[in-house]
């Protein structure tokens, strides 16, 4: 019997996101397993893993906002922007005050331009930046626009400060730490990083790997697996009759009685008996809804 759903994994330090996907693929014996946004090996916290048909909603969960707790050390900059890199700059940060940090953080809120670290999975001419950096090839990374909804100073005990950051897809907290260090004039890098939320998934509900392995051994995975539509629950939902259900399954566009005054791009479609059927995509010119992804769950 196929497994379709999402596991809220609490990623430990020194494990790659890919290695956790490989573990879940082995435990579940499902071919289709994927994560919803890479966490660096030193990072911990929420890593939703999509299994079976849930891999088809990865893009929507990956696009959701994330929240992090970042521990940043002032006074030392590194080439990787974290504690594992080579030191590139040192300066005594003892004169940096809480007020200076809070004022500096205000410059890194809203829609900002951010350059990804040279040691990152971003591609340049078909190759990962970290591959080029390890080969000694210098590439000037292009800044890209990201959105930082909020960044709050949680604690400051010289030279370590902790901030809570809510941000959009594509934001590098390592880059934020490095940029903050440059702004303060003393340099900085990430000491520890924990993702505490990814879309609807919270760290207090996440499962450590040891517990996940026990869950599989005991055959009680269904008690901990989130439904495929969990990342989409903020969207509008429609219930369709049997005629429209058949049309959706055949890939045909349908007309809905519900108006779409806000011209929302997507909605969720369910059968009359509550089964999740499809992600419908609104076609503006025709005023019809087209099945973007169709599911066979339940």
61, 48 contact by CB (below 8 A) = yes
Can you name the residues that pair with 290 across neighbouring β-strands? 281
Quote the strand ranges of the chain, DSSP E: 5-11, 33-35, 44-51, 66-74, 76-78, 87-90, 110-114, 123-124, 127-128, 144-157, 160-167, 188-198, 201-202, 237-239, 266-270, 276-283, 288-294
CA trace torsion 11, 27, 169, 154 (10° rounding): -20
CA dist list (Å): 82 to 20, 25, 87, 291: 22, 30, 10, 43
Positive or negative torsion for Cα 164, 169, 172, 177 = negative
* Catalytic pick among 4, 40, 179, 229: 40
Helix crossing, 98-105 with 173-184: angle to 10°? 130
Pairing of strands 76-78, 127-128: unpaired
Q: Is 47 helix (H, G, I), strand (E, B) or coil?
A: strand
185, 91 contact by CB (below 8 A) = yes
Among this protein's residues, is 257 annotated catalytic? no
Nearby residues of 256 by Cβ (< 8 Å), 6 or more positions away: 238, 240, 289
**Residues involved in catalysis:** 40
């Amino acid at each position: 019997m196929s497994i379709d759903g999402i596991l809220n994994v609490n990623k430990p330090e020194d494990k790659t996101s890919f290695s956790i996907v490989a573990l879940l693929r082995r435990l579940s014996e499902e071919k289709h397993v994927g994560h919803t946004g890479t966490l660096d090996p030193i990072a911990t916290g929420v890593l939703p893993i999509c299994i079976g048909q849930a891999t088809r909603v990865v893009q929507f969960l990956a696009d959701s906002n994330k929240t992090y707790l970042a521990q940043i050390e002032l006074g030392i900059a590194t080439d990787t922007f974290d504690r594992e890199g080579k030191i590139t700059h040192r300066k005594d940060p003892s004169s940096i005050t809480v007020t200076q940090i809070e004022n500096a953080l205000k410059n890194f809120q809203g829609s900002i331009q951010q350059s990804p670290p040279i040691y990152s999975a971003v591609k340049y001419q078909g190759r990962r930046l970290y591959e080029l950096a390890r080969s000694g090839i210098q590439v000037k990374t292009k800044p890209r626009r990201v959105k930082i909804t909020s960044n709050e100073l949680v604690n400051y005990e010289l030279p370590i400060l902790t901030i809570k950051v809510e941000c959009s897809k594509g934001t590098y907290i390592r880059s934020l730490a490095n940029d903050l260090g440059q702004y303060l004039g003393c340099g900085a890098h990430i000491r520890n990083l924990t993702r505490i939320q990814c879309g609807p998934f919270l760290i207090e509900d996440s499962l450590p790997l040891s517990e996940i392995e026990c869950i599989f051994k005991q055959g009680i995975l269904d008690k901990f697996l989130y439904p495929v539509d969990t990342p989409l629950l903020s969207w509008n939902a429609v219930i369709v009759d049997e005629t429209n259900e058949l049309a959706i399954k055949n890939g045909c566009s349908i007309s809905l009685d519900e108006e779409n005054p806000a011209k929302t791009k997507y909605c969720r479609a369910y059968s009359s008996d509550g089964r999740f059927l499809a992600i419908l995509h609104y076609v503006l010119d025709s005023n019809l809804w087209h099945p973007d992804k169709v599911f066979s769950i339940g």
